[in-house]
């Protein structure tokens, strides 16, 4: 348990390169016949419901996962941390920055809203004999950063300006999550999957009418770290 807490803390505060390095170092120790540990990442396509002009935005996500096997090996508890998880929406209308020069420069532009979280999915996973799996549960999030990026073509130049909005966003995010995927190499290789997240906590603080919620579709690949060595050690006992 101490090793698990150490890995979780380190992954949350380090860069993506550090995440990969730590996973490789600790993977052998964390994988057992009852626990599978690995890296997971991919692309996610997000928007915010009931937000004027909102268009899908595309981001990359990266984190780590655990599968805790239950008594029936077909069932598992799937969890982990998506350390790099950016939600939001693109193509929003501009608003006043209370600065005449900036308002004039971005008057014909648009706003891309980027909201970063540490997300923790907690799902029940069922694995079929044909190596397809399905899972469903909840996903909790802790806000890390949030800003609106103003973009405009002004006088032939591409202008950008970041307006921090973290204090306007709820710190805690939560919602429902479902997913499905396939395990390669006869059930012993990487996982290729898709997940959908349906936020249930309003994005913005204060009153918004109608309420706005996160929506995101994930395409992921999960790579077990040290699984082969764990199985070899178990067979030798």
- Distance CA(98)–CA(42), nearest Å, equals 38
Kindly list the distances between the CA atom of residue 164 and the CA atoms of 97, 115, 146, 193, in Å, as whole numbers in the listed order. Answer: 11, 10, 6, 33
Spell out the domain ranges in the chain: 2-236
The dihedral of CA 77, 23, 19, 182: what is its sign?
negative
pLDDT digits (tens, 9 = 90+) for 109-165: 999 999 999 999 999 999 999 999 999 999 999 999 999 999 998 777 899 999 999
- Give per-residue pLDDT as tens, 203-233: 999 866 788 999 999 999 999 986 655 455 5
On whether the CB atoms of residues 83 and 62 are closer than 8 A, the answer is yes
Residue 7 pLDDT exceeds 60: no
**CATH architecture under which domain 2-236 falls:** Beta Barrel (2.40)
Using pLDDT thresholds of 50, 70 and 90, give the confidence band for residue 4. very low
Higher pLDDT, 193 or 13: 193
Beta strands in 49-156 (DSSP E): 57-69, 75-92, 110-127, 132-154
pLDDT value, residue 8? 46
Q: 198: burial class by Cβ within 10 Å (0-12, 13-18, 19+)?
A: middle
* Crossing angle of the two packed helices 16-30 and 2-13, in degrees rounded to 10: 170
Which pLDDT belongs to residue 233?
52
> Does 192 have pLDDT greater than 90?
yes
């Amino acid at each position: 348990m101490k090793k698990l807490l150490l890995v979780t803390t380190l992954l949350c505060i380090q860069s993506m390169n550090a995440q990969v390095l730590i996973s490789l170092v600790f993977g052998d120790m964390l994988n057992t016949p009852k626990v599978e540990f690995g890296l997971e990442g991919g692309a996610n396509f997000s928007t915010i419901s009931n937000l004027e002009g909102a268009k899908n935005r595309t981001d990359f996500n990266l984190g780590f996962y655990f599968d805790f096997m239950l008594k029936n090996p077909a069932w598992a508890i799937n969890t982990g941390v998506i350390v790099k998880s950016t939600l939001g929406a693109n193509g929003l209308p501009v608003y006043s920055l209370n600065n005449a020069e900036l308002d004039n420069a971005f008057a014909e532009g648009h706003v891309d809203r980027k909201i970063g979280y540490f997300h923790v999915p907690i799902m029940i996973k069922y694995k079929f004999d044909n190596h397809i799996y399905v899972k469903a549960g909840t996903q909790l999030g802790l806000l890390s950063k949030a800003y609106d990026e103003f973009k405009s073509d002004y006088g032939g130049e591409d202008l950008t300006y970041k307006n921090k909005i973290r204090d306007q966003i709820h710190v805690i995010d939560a919602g429902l999550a479902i997913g499905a995927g396939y395990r390669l190499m006869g059930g012993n290789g990487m996982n290729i999957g898709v997940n959908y997240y349906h936020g249930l906590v309003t994005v913005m603080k204060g009153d918004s009418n109608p309420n706005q919620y996160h929506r995101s579709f994930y395409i992921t690949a999960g790579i077990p770290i040290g699984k082969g060595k764990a199985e070899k050690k178990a067979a030798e006992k």
